[in-house]
Amino acid sequence: MALDPDLRAALATLAATPHLLVALDFDGTLAPLVERAEDARALPASGTALRALAALPGTTTALVSGRALDSLRVVAEPPEDTMMIGSHGAETWTGPDGAPLALRPEQAGLLARAVDVVERTIAAHPGTRIEFKPAGVVLHTRTASDDVADSAVTAARAGLEDLADLSITDGKRVLEISVIKADKGQGLALLRETTGATAVLFAGDDVTDEHALRTLLPDDVGIRVGPGETAARFTVASPEDFSEVLSELVSLRTQVHPAQ
């Protein structure tokens, strides 16, 4: 891919910032989308670039994902100091001193009822799957036919109608249900505040990433990976193309802040 000259110029400006936060979605951004979530892995070039950025002075790396943190750690194998936002903002890891997520009793009860709805949905819709998260549950429909997937989402939403205080979000062949109202924009804001970043690169591929993209400031760079309406200034076609963006950022940032 020939890098868009405007994107390269924006990366060059970004690379000169005193404290850079590189915050990235995982699935569909660093890793190609796959049928089984547990099989996802970052593209080698993207993984190499992320490790290189994490090693540079004045540079913080972070993953901002819909995955639960435990799942994210397994598939992403992030550099040791990489911060993480999981479950679309409901889970955070900004260092070893952070407290783990703990649900209130009423939240735990609500989650159990939501899990029951999704379990009944997948039992009636072949090819759908369930994923459990500390603060939520996910209906996966990527391995189901289109008509079954549509029926499953409709059935799940109908079953959840009587449960108040849930956050329900559509993604790419997933229905995310959480008992904590949080999004990636809130997660990115926490990372910016925690790190004191003077500029941010954020990239993502899904509608849930738009929450973060809409929070970006004029000195930041937002990138949408793949098609879709977006608030991002720039788009690239695929995770493979985004690997080239990260590699270019490594080169530009190393010139300004060489590894020690």
* Residue (of 220, 187, 185, 188) closest to 201 by Cα position: 220
> Dihedral sign, CA of 150, 137, 167, 113?
positive
| Mean per-residue pLDDT, 217-243 | 97
Q: What pLDDT does 177 receive?
A: 95
Whether 98 has a pLDDT exceeding 80, the answer reads no
Q: Could you tell me the strand order of the sheet in which 221-225 lies? A: 91-93, 83-86, 59-64, 20-24, 199-204, 221-225, 234-236
Q: What pLDDT does 171 receive?
A: 86
Whether 102 has a pLDDT exceeding 90, the answer reads no
Q: What pLDDT does 254 receive?
A: 96
Phi first, then psi, for residue 12 (nearest 5°) are: -65, -40
Q: What pLDDT does 256 receive?
A: 87
Helix/strand/coil for 225? strand
Which pLDDT band, with edges at 50, 70 and 90, does 37 fall under?
Answer: confident
Q: What pLDDT does 258 receive?
A: 81
Q: What pLDDT does 96 receive?
A: 72
Whether 136 has a pLDDT exceeding 90, the answer reads yes
Whether 97 has a pLDDT exceeding 70, the answer reads no
Q: Which helix (H) or strand (E) holds 188?
A: helix 184-195
Whether 99 has a pLDDT exceeding 90, the answer reads no
Q: What would you report as the CA-atom Rg of the chain, rounded to the nearest whole angstrom?
A: 19
| Mean per-residue pLDDT, 53-57 | 96
**Amino acid (1-letter code) at residue 235:** T
pTM confidence score:
0.85
pLDDT in tens, 162-213: 998 899 989 889 999 999 888 999 999 999 999 999 999 999 999 999 999 9
